[in-house]
Structure 1
């Protein structure tokens, strides 16, 4: 190779080396702008914010503040101001862990076409926050705030802003009503249950809810009442079908004339230690009108044995609830609808024929097959000991048989069959010291229970047979 060719080759190598050196130098200069950071890049006081909007995917929402927060597209929309506050809390002290100064290629961070843009108005100033790709290695998201830098943020705002409009609604809240003083039903049921302590009409101190009928106070089973109240407490008021109901819509949902109104009076205190005041909350329940009409017709047809239709399932029920005069209408599950509509007196009354605490019984007189027997109790060493004809007896079977007497169906039908067994119980109670129970043959499956001369229920015959056998095991041994 001659001298001139060698010079050309060496010159070419020199050019390549310079180009590589320049590239490395520029790369090193660029990488020097990438650094770890604990910087707070944004501090926003939510009280000063006047507007908030965002675009995430196909969803776009905008809200503004005019004393209260309003939805731009429909100011009738009940905005959950706590939710607005939660969204803005993302930027109360917006910290980063990594910063890329003067980022040149935003596409590698997903910020050329952000997956979400957030706009926050504060007086005359508007902040724009763009959310880009998620770094799997760092488990953080790339963000820009319009200052030319790219950041990796510690807390991902997308977790808060990737939501639907339904998550921004101010839902009705079911109040905490631990102490309900009154339950009033109107519509398909019409009566009132009132809370009364230290009752003077039953032998059980557990009876605290009563209804009035024909001038008499009738006790309810507290567990049944509490179970019903728990259904109300656990209602899922999120599945709304209208957030600003019109009169026409009320008719559509059958709530212009609800099937059942349930009004609760309860004691509440705004703050701990304050005196409790009586508050009221009402629930209006109804079924979709056409569906209700079909169900009623099917029930009538079934009752008359004219082409009875299949019984529908709870999943096929379409029902709605409204809280007080709220403009929001919620869809009820079929199960909730059935449990709320099951509000008759019979649904709340005691199913047991006798619900006295067995330890409060002091004497039992039994009439069985024309013979009379007496069981007595003496207190010995602070325990009740039972006797029959001066002989100590075991009463577990008798106790269980007595407790098992429960209604399969309530009825006021007068007895027509033979008396199977009757018992008179002496009770340690000033309110009701004596209860008489008579059990009559009704049919092959049931006996009729009469308490203090009044027919109350049909009882499974097997329970009555169990009671007779328990008595015989005591008096025949």
Structure 2
């Protein structure tokens, strides 16, 4: 009995040892497999300068490039504006190709997508030796794709999928795009938009009360609100071509560029001034002249716009002096071209800063009140006795508290109209008239008339008929009357 028991125990130990052996052997084999998968092997390599020709076949596209005298050209059309940086980027992906796994003697090329490769690359060196890389299906699990080299189907390589992705492109992707000048909105002095129905123009105007004027296509003009001008001109800082279309300008009518909308932008840039110092200047003067100085230079950009693309996403366009046609985002262009005078008209009833005026005259309940300002010197209470300037507000030559003045004047400059109606006519006398005056500049009168249960009709001497919320006007009248009452006590 003891002998049989020992035999059984020995047998169990042997079974356990064999099981441990096979487990360890399996682990070692898996480790070897993992090490094999993680091993990176360079399977193709060539120096970029040694490439004489490069052919890339991707889908229906076949691109042939020639490399000579350190310059790349598009073989099918030597006049094509090939982007040197774009083609060098493509070349960089084929100069060194590494594999993370090699599949020996594959049974079925179709399984790897190599029966009909998605991309075929033929690299020919300067001695005429050719190498062909065929790229098949993508293995998303390992971010790789399968490749064969020189039609040797006994080996298939797993390479980084970025190789195939970067060699799938259109001709427009490698065109050298001419750049639209970088224009900051604050540097613009004039914008004109020439359309078939007429020309609209926004321009700096020293005679305008806002410093800007917008002239509509019908010839009418309005002072353009400076904040609205800033919003509009900021659109030019984002201008950029989206896609290259063609360099063939023989048939511009295809793109609507034979009768284009013309956008002309005048702007200014700061450039380094030329050194005009004479050679016999003193060393001190020479040192001063070495300091960097700039001058303001006037520039102009002229953009031609044609038709929209079929999906209306883009416009065809080109710069007047450039040699290619491109597309540009329709949303950006429409923000520039689809404007009229209402887009630049301020919604403020009378946005005139008192600091910029000589006087403001109020007529209310048959009384006239003239507001002016005086600058006086005030001696400091400090021991140094320095004097400072202080502005006093005067109404009919009587000082009014700054707070009292601002209480009603700020209501005027902040007041906005709800709508404009040229057909609305006042009846009766104005409940208040305000004249804003600056010698040689602003001279505008604004009259307030009761209109209906909701609005006052506010008419200014520029011809605007504005509907203003009745509560806002009542608040102004109350603040003004209170301030005048305090002043006369």
Q: What range is the shorter-chain TM-score in?
A: 0.5 to 0.7
The correspondence of residues 403-422 of structure 1 with structure 2, limited to 5 A, is 403-405=414-416, 408=419, 418-422=429-433
Residue segments in structure 1 that go unaligned for 5+ positions in a row: 1-26, 292-314
Q: Secondary structure at the match of 1:461?
A: strand
Contact 1:387/1:393 (CA < 8 Å) preserved in 2?
Answer: no
Contact 2:214/2:223 (CA < 8 Å) preserved in 1?
Answer: yes
The counterpart of 1:283, out of the listed 290, 294, 303, is 303
Matched residue count: 404
Distance 2:36 2:58 in 1: 28
The counterpart of 1:370, out of the listed 361, 366, 371, is 366
Corresponding residue of 1:89: 92
CA shift, 1:437, in A, is: 2.5
CA distance 1:409–1:189, change in 2 (3 Å): farther
CA distance 1:226–1:436, change in 2 (3 Å): closer
Residue segments in structure 2 that go unaligned for 5+ positions in a row: 1-28, 273-291, 379-387
1:339 aligns with 2:332: no
The correspondence of residues 40-119 of structure 1 with structure 2, limited to 5 A, is 40-46=42-48, 49-65=51-67, 69-75=72-78, 77-96=80-99, 98-100=100-102, 103=105, 105=107, 107=109, 109-119=112-122
CA offset digits 1:341-380 (Å, max 9, x no partner): 3455664465545434466568643113423235566899
Contact 1:346/1:410 (CA < 8 Å) preserved in 2?
Answer: no
CA shift, 1:56, in A, is: 2.9
Contact 1:239/1:331 (CA < 8 Å) preserved in 2?
Answer: yes
CA shift, 1:442, in A, is: 11
The counterpart of 1:460, out of the listed 467, 473, 486, is 467
Corresponding residue of 1:183: 191
CA shift, 1:52, in A, is: 3.0
Distance 1:317 1:84 in 2: 28
CA shift, 1:73, in A, is: 4.5
Q: Secondary structure at the match of 2:179?
A: coil
The correspondence of residues 223-262 of structure 1 with structure 2, limited to 5 A, is 223-235=227-239, 237-238=241-242, 243-247=247-251, 249-250=252-253, 252-262=254-264
Corresponding residue of 2:138: 134
Contact 1:99/1:151 (CA < 8 Å) preserved in 2?
Answer: yes
Contact 1:410/1:456 (CA < 8 Å) preserved in 2?
Answer: no
Contact 1:449/1:457 (CA < 8 Å) preserved in 2?
Answer: yes
CA offset digits 1:130-188 (Å, max 9, x no partner): 22333344332333433775433346212212233343333443221123354344445
Q: Secondary structure at the match of 1:173?
A: coil
CA shift, 1:470, in A, is: 0.8
Q: Tell me the TM-score normalised to structure 1 length.
A: 0.64
Q: Secondary structure at the match of 1:157?
A: helix
CA offset digits 1:42-80 (Å, max 9, x no partner): 455545544333223444333345776554445554433
Q: Tell me the TM-score normalised to structure 2 length.
A: 0.62
Contact 1:398/1:467 (CA < 8 Å) preserved in 2?
Answer: no
1:324 aligns with 2:328: no
CA distance 1:114–1:286, change in 2 (3 Å): closer
Distance 1:223 1:66 in 2: 55
Q: Secondary structure at the match of 1:89?
A: helix
Contact 1:77/1:244 (CA < 8 Å) preserved in 2?
Answer: no
Corresponding residue of 2:20: none
CA shift, 1:316, in A, is: 7.7
